[in-house]
């Protein structure tokens, strides 16, 4: 194939339009409970449902080798997949790992990477059952994760006007940590740790699914506004986000709310909660393993994505988070 | 992590030693019927066994974009995984696809890649259920494939001294095709087609498993001698290969037997067949969908890997097929 042909490049059309095109062509089958478009596929195998997802960490796109140790990279490659599973309420069980690595890489780094991955999986009672290693110019780690599905997997498509918008944990830490590492690869602190080692909200996801607390859920990997737009599109709704309510550390607040709105890699949960389930959610908040903060409300689709400032003024939000193609956020390529 | 530390690089230690190190550290679980070291993992999900594998096609390592169309690349990314499934006697059912692509890539090429993959999967009654796309410097396609396992999956570890060595189809075509494409990207013919579009031996694998014809099987991806050495190591045996019996096209024979011994990407099956099952194998040969040729016999481990020439003279074989690290065979990086 030619490196560039007439027609649009990925940079020109962007990730979401590309994925929409890809997804529209896939066929289905009775065993596929949830197909492309959610955080995981859900398939029926031997009489029960499993969640299945894959995600890659690529040198130059997701990380620079000076930003994290091999062990940390292996751990993160697992954790970002576990976050997809958390978003649908599942429990990770089995991983396959595809490593692509330059010949110059040290064996001890590959071993450390695998150890980090295996330890992170073991903490969730999941195990690595196999994998593959191939030579490449760039280091890449692709994890494929199979997880037990809850009775009703959480999807992106169930939000309705009037349902509340909740997010878990805090927003913007990972983006702040990434900015720190880009300035100084020896940077330390909470934000750097959050970038290197996200915390998949597996317990919260499981409780949300089992107690039917949420009408829609996804994980925040590409920034609140970008991902909220995706959830709105999947559900056919709009959203109104109250800026003062966004859960942020003091450092993120000082660095600017844009980090919380558009910073990627938070790996927190974004949830739609029907009004009649909000009390139940609050009564279970000690069982979630993380805080849940109400940051706004879903509206009718024609209202779009609206941001409400502290003084009550509103403005239309433009999703400006990370997109793999055509992005300005992750700046390494 | 540092790009190079004290200690061995992947190029210095080679793929097999690296994998041995990685595999030795993995834990197991009762649901894992077959762990790392075979062509697929086998796991028990919901009361039945599934085969699970992943494999990547990486630009610069596995292919050059001038050698094949996007559609052909997508098809091949599926087929090399189906070959792993064939080697254990399974039937492909579900795929996840992780694409990594440069921003400059044309959208139509990504769509063509997926169409090729989906069409190849559909031919085996398998479907793509989801995936992921991320930006990278090199184009890469990683497929993760779930397949129904036969009652007794075929492993690499069951060959015993005295069992016959069989290979399916013909050897060396893909390596010859690759050599042709490297000389002339417009090269055509059977060998080029075999390189671009391998034929996973799914029917043969299923019959071998169901009829318990083979004591050990693997697929030939890195060249007969390299892969035979792996099967010998897994089974604790040696092997004696009769050069004149190797199934080769006239073109491969003219180009030299090294192509059949060490050329990669044949994606044929390498089988150990106990003497008392050879008649049964021959009686079923019209049901296998491919030829099966007896090329030698397994011996005791201390005899090593021996090649027998037409005049009866013997020499020790040195595995010189493709290794992802420290290789001389696939020359693009």
pLDDT averages per 10-residue partition of chain B, 333 residues: 61 78 77 84 89 93 92 96 97 94 92 94 94 90 96 95 98 96 93 96 98 98 95 97 97 96 96 98 96 98 96 86 56 37
Quick check: helix, strand or coil at residue A270? strand
Mean per-residue pLDDT for A25-42?
Answer: 83
Taking an 8 Å cut-off on Cβ atoms, the answer to whether B103 and A129 are in contact is no
CA distance A73 to chain B (A): 9
Tokens 């492309």 identify what position?
Answer: A36
Could you give the CA distance from residue B310 to residue B63 in angstroms, rounded to a whole number?
A: 35
A109 at B interface, C-beta within 8 A: yes
Tokens 């481990």 identify what position?
Answer: B301
B24 at A interface, C-beta within 8 A: no
What the block records as the tokens of B109 is 């090429």
What's the per-residue H, E or C state across chain B? CCCCCCCCEHHHHCHHHHHHHHHHCCCCCCCEEECECECCEEEEECCEEEEEEEEEEEECCCECCCCCCHHHHHHHHHHHHHHHHHHCCCEEEEEEEEEEECCCCEHHHHHHHHHHHHHHHHHCCCEEEEEEEEECCCCEEEEEEEEECCCCCCCCCCCCCCCEEEEECCCCHHHHHHHHHHHCCCCCCHHHHHHHCCCCCHHHHHHHHHCCCCCEEEECCCCHHHHHHHHHHHHCEEEEEEHHHCCCCHHHHHHCCHHHHHCCCCCCEEEEECHHHHHHHHHCHHHCCCCEEEEEEEEEHHHCEEEECCCCCEEECCCCCCCCCCCCCCCCC
Taking an 8 Å cut-off on Cβ atoms, the answer to whether A138 and B136 are in contact is yes
CA-nearest residue to A104 within chain B is B9
Q: How many CB atoms lie within 10 A of CB B279?
A: 9
Taking an 8 Å cut-off on Cβ atoms, the answer to whether A10 and B98 are in contact is no
Interface test with B, best of A134, A141, A153, A326 (most B CBs within 10 A): A134
Strands A127-135, A91-101: pairing kind: parallel
Contacts of B109 in chain A (CB under 8 A): 1, 5
Contacts of A332 in chain B (CB under 8 A): none
**Residues β-bridged to residue B39:** none
Largest distance between two CA atoms of chain B: 58
Residues 6+ apart with CB under 8 A from A199: A79, A169, A267, A290
CA distance B20 to chain A (A): 11
Whether the pLDDT of residue A35 is over 80: the answer is: no
CA distances from B96 to A52, A241, B126 (A): 8, 34, 11
What the block records as the tokens of A168 is 């878990």
- Whether residue A163 contacts residue A75, with contact meaning beta carbons closer than 8 Å, is answered with no
Residues 6+ apart with CB under 8 A from B194: B173, B174, B177, B266
Could you give the CA distance from residue A283 to residue A264 in angstroms, rounded to a whole number?
A: 30
Taking an 8 Å cut-off on Cβ atoms, the answer to whether A56 and B137 are in contact is no
CA-nearest residue to B132 within chain A is A55
A258 at B interface, C-beta within 8 A: no
Q: Which of A65, A131, A324 sits opposite B36 (nearest CB)?
A: A131
Could you give the CA distance from residue A96 to residue B177 in angstroms, rounded to a whole number?
A: 31
Sign, CA dihedral A38-A44-A45-A48, equals: positive
Beta strand spans in chain A (E): 32-34, 41-45, 48-58, 91-101, 127-135, 140-148, 164-168, 216-219, 237-242, 269-273, 292-300, 305-308, 314-316
pLDDT band at A17 (very low <50, low <70, confident <90, very high): confident
Taking an 8 Å cut-off on Cβ atoms, the answer to whether A108 and B73 are in contact is no
* pLDDT tens by residue, B222-238: 999 999 999 999 999 99
Taking an 8 Å cut-off on Cβ atoms, the answer to whether A54 and B29 are in contact is no
Could you give the CA distance from residue A224 to residue A207 in angstroms, rounded to a whole number?
A: 22
B212 at A interface, C-beta within 8 A: no
Rounded to 10 deg, the angle between the B70-87 and B107-123 helix axes is: 30
Quick check: helix, strand or coil at residue A129? strand
Residues 6+ apart with CB under 8 A from A250: none
B98 at A interface, C-beta within 8 A: yes
Taking an 8 Å cut-off on Cβ atoms, the answer to whether A58 and B25 are in contact is no
CA-nearest residue to A69 within chain B is B1
Mean per-residue pLDDT for A243-270?
Answer: 96
Quick check: helix, strand or coil at residue A54? strand
Length of chain B: 333
- Whether residue A91 contacts residue A124, with contact meaning beta carbons closer than 8 Å, is answered with yes
Contacts of B78 in chain A (CB under 8 A): none
State the ipTM, two decimals. 0.88
Taking an 8 Å cut-off on Cβ atoms, the answer to whether B21 and A144 are in contact is no
- Whether residue A77 contacts residue A140, with contact meaning beta carbons closer than 8 Å, is answered with no
Angle of CA points A76, A79, A81, to nearest 5°: 115
Q: Which of B98, B106, B326 sits opposite A142 (nearest CB)?
A: B98
Contacts of B134 in chain A (CB under 8 A): 55-56, 58, 61-62, 324
Q: Which of B50, B130, B137 sits opposite A35 (nearest CB)?
A: B130
CA distance A183 to chain B (A): 17
B79 at A interface, C-beta within 8 A: no
Nearest to A159 by CA among A230, A267, A221, A231: A231
- Name which residue leads in pLDDT, B141 or A6: B141
B46 at A interface, C-beta within 8 A: yes
Tokens 């019996």 identify what position?
Answer: B245
- The whole-model pTM stands at 0.91
CA-nearest residue to A25 within chain B is B115
At residue B271, the pLDDT reads: 98
Contacts of A142 in chain B (CB under 8 A): 54, 56, 98, 142
Helix (H) / strand (E) containing A13: helix A10-13
Taking an 8 Å cut-off on Cβ atoms, the answer to whether A136 and B58 are in contact is yes
CA-nearest residue to A17 within chain B is B107
Could you give the CA distance from residue B217 to residue B152 in angstroms, rounded to a whole number?
A: 12
Strands A292-300, A164-168: pairing kind: antiparallel
What the block records as the tokens of A74 is 């292996």
CA distance B5 to chain A (A): 6
Quick check: helix, strand or coil at residue A297? strand
A65 at B interface, C-beta within 8 A: yes
* pLDDT tens by residue, A174-209: 999 999 999 999 999 999 999 999 999 999 999 999
CA distance B29 to chain A (A): 8
What the block records as the tokens of B150 is 């036969």
Helix (H) / strand (E) containing A178: helix A173-183
CA distances from B285 to B194, B208, B278 (A): 22, 10, 11
Tokens 């498509």 identify what position?
Answer: A157
Angle of CA points B203, B209, B215, to nearest 5°: 125
CA distance B61 to chain A (A): 6
Residues 6+ apart with CB under 8 A from A72: A116, A196, A197
Contacts of B324 in chain A (CB under 8 A): 133-135
Contacts of A18 in chain B (CB under 8 A): 107, 110, 133
Contacts of B47 in chain A (CB under 8 A): 46-47
Q: Which of B9, B22, B144 sits opposite A54 (nearest CB)?
A: B144
What the block records as the tokens of A114 is 């695998």
At residue A7, the pLDDT reads: 57
Length of chain A: 333
**In chain A, pLDDT over 90 holds for what percent of residues?**
79
**Sheet of A292-300: strands edge to edge?**
A216-219, A269-273, A164-168, A292-300, A237-242, A305-308, A314-316
A324 at B interface, C-beta within 8 A: yes
């Amino acid at each position: 194939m030619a490196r560039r042909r007439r027609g649009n490049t990925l940079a020109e059309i962007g990730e979401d339009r590309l994925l929409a095109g890809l997804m529209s062509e896939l066929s289905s089958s009775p065993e596929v409970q949830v197909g492309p478009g959610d955080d995981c596929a859900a398939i029926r195998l031997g009489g029960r449902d499993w969640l299945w997802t894959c995600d890659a960490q690529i040198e130059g796109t997701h990380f620079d080798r000076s930003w994290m140790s091999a062990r940390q990279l292996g751990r993160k490659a697992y954790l970002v997949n576990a976050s997809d599973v958390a978003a649908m309420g599942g429990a990770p069980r089995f991983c396959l790992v595809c490593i692509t690595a330059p010949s110059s890489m040290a064996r001890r780094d590959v071993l450390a990477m695998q150890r980090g991955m295996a330890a992170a999986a073991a903490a969730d009672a999941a195990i690595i059952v196999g994998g593959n290693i191939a030579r490449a110019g760039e280091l890449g780690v692709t994890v494929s994760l199979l997880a037990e599905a809850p009775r009703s997997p959480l999807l992106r498509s169930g939000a309705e006007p009037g349902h509340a918008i909740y997010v878990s944990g805090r927003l913007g830490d990972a983006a702040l940590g990434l900015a720190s590492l880009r300035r100084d690869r020896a940077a330390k602190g909470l934000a750097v740790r959050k970038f290197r080692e996200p915390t998949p909200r597996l317990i919260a996801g499981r409780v949300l699914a089992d107690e039917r607390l949420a009408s829609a859920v996804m994980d925040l990997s590409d920034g609140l506004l970008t991902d909220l737009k995706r959830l709105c599109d999947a559900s056919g709704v709009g959203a109104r986000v109250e800026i003062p309510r966004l859960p942020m550390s003091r450092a993120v607040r000082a660095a600017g709310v844009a980090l919380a709105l558009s910073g990627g890699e938070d790996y927190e949960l974004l949830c739609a909660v029907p009004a009649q389930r909000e009390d139940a959610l609050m009564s279970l908040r000690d069982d979630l393993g993380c805080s849940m903060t109400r940051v706004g409300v879903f509206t009718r689709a024609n209202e779009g994505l609206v941001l409400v400032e502290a003084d009550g003024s509103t403005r239309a939000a433009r999703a400006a988070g990370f997109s793999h193609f055509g992005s300005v956020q992750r700046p390494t390529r």
